[in-house]
Amino acid sequence: MNIAQFAKTLGIHQAALAHITSGRLKPSVDVLTKIVNRFEDINPGWLLTGKGSMKITPHVEGEFIKMENFNV
């Protein structure tokens, strides 16, 4: 997925995303929330801190780990 597709998927302007990816701007809580809501396998703790695994690993039962299990 390129920047234009990613921005469209999130519903934000491509220029805003380009500023974030270049390091000129930090992502807002709104942008982070859109990423977590759209890509349910992304670990919110990793997105905020860069620590841990980027992707959420499914439980043995096949369900994703619930948000309250993250220490952020």
The pLDDT profile of the chain, 72 residues, written as one tens digit per residue, is 899 999 999 999 999 999 999 999 999 999 999 999 999 899 999 999 999 899 987 655 555 555 555 554
Provide the 8-state DSSP code for 11. Answer: T
- The reply to whether the predicted model has a pTM over 0.85 is no
Q: How many Å apart are CA 48 and CA 26, to the nearest integer? A: 11
Q: How many Å apart are CA 15 and CA 71, to the nearest integer? A: 32
Residues 27 and 6 sit within 8 Å (Cβ to Cβ): no
Domain boundaries, the chain: 40-72
